[in-house]
Structure 1
Amino acid sequence: MNVQPPINFAALDAKYEEASQILMRRPPVLCAGCPHRASFYVLKKATGGKALFPTDIGCYALGIAPPLSVGDLLICMGASVGTAGGVSRATGADTVAIIGDSTFFHAGMPALVNAVYNNHKFVLAVLDNLTTAMTGHQPHPGTGKTATGTPGKRVLIEEVARGCGVSFVKVVNPFHIDEAVKTVKEALEVPGPAVVVFRAPCALLLAREKRRKGERPEPYRVTDACTNCMACIKTIGCPALVIRGGKVAIDEVLCTGCGLCAQVCPYQAIETPKEVKA
């Protein structure tokens, strides 16, 4: 028909290409202070990075990318639990399914029941940041709030797991690295399904709460003991860790004071902050 569209798409494509050459290239990353980053560090440390990790739909899907590199299989919402049972049975390898709190309630429970029924040997790591962070912090049954913000009956993930028949169910704080690693190692020895709930609030929710109270975390800082080995950056990839003048530094604006970097540093070259008034 030789009808010319009102928009010159070729010109737009050329503009996009031109702009892409100017913009800094970087992958999407978990927020500074995100508890999922600590959970992934724990899982890699506990398994030596040799386990298979079916993952799921949520912020934690970003764990697939380096340097975290936790996530071998991603199909659809809720599929991590079901595929973990099949992967474990087919390969005999250590398998850790990763699912978020909201996704667990939405689509993870039926597969967990099936895992108990068939005695599938794998660990289910539920990353519970007490919100549905990826889509805008909507509540879910584990938050104790309804969709309108009114109080509701809180449903605990660990109680649901026990109700499904899982015998090994433990809750850990992902920022308590040694304790969490020990718990995951115990879970890997269970001859059936085991559930570990990694519970710590979303960093964005914590930041909002602190602002409401007129508080702020004092950022961590890198001391002169730093050898510039880059272990912190190469291991956890927190966006608050930056390079300034060829040396590792911490962005004071982005740092939430979670302390993961201090635990990762092999030279104890990152100082602990103190909570201060804004």
Structure 2
Amino acid sequence: MSENKPLEREFAYTSVHFNTARTTLYRLAGIKLADSKDAMVYSRLVRRIRTLKLAGFSAYFEYLLSHENEHQEFINALTTNQTAFFREPHHFEVLKQYLIDNPDTRRIWCAASSTGEEPYSIAIAVAEHFNSFKTPIEIIASDIDSGVLKKAEMGIYPLDRIDTVSDIRKKRFFHRGRGSQLGNVRVVPELKQMLKFTRINLLDSFWPLKTPIDVIFCRNVMIYFDKETQEVILKHMMNSLCEDGLYIAGHSENFNMFPQIITAVGQTTYRPVKGLMSAKT
């Protein structure tokens, strides 16, 4: 983007506006936006400007400063939520093996649940392991974006979202919509009851979670944070895991730069370094 030169758009938009959005998102959520995201910021925030009937980006940032309730709308607008059922399927086989090897597992946390495909996939794997929806395991599904959490709690998806799900799983874990819901599917109520949805900002010093946690799914999230923020969050997560707990990362993430905190045990799977203090509450 050329310095301070407004683009020919509905609202004047300059590098100053982009950088204001970028620094505000980092302050509120710890997420760093690349220089290439300037067009995305415009297209996402212009919807808020229209909704609030404001004069433009400068007016919006003034509004954001004086209306704390807009902070969540701002975060929701600029966070990306790409997900799918059983994305990176080997992770769910790793989870099942962990449950076999650790029969006392009691708590799994999906730290970036987005619209719910990932935590429902976790719940399906757990239900299959126990051959029952009634299990001793608590599954917590969190996200910073309150909007996607509402969608996740509904558990309703377009039919094509489960194209890659096996027929056996489709029959057991989903109901086809009828009438006004034709073309959609809904997760079965028993599966939904296995999950507890809650909003968590990973930057917060306190997370409303019982610890220790046995398994944390935090996939393709850390790539949005700088190294210093990654270290803070990873340390907090490793201290929340039990000593033999499992951390499952995304295919694009690597934590070799934090050998004092986390150690690899498989393909994008990690454990806390021995000696880290585990939080137990």
TM exceeds 0.5? no
Higher relative contact order (CA 8 A, sep 6+): 1
TM-score by length of 2: 0.28
Structure whose residues are more often helix by fraction: 2
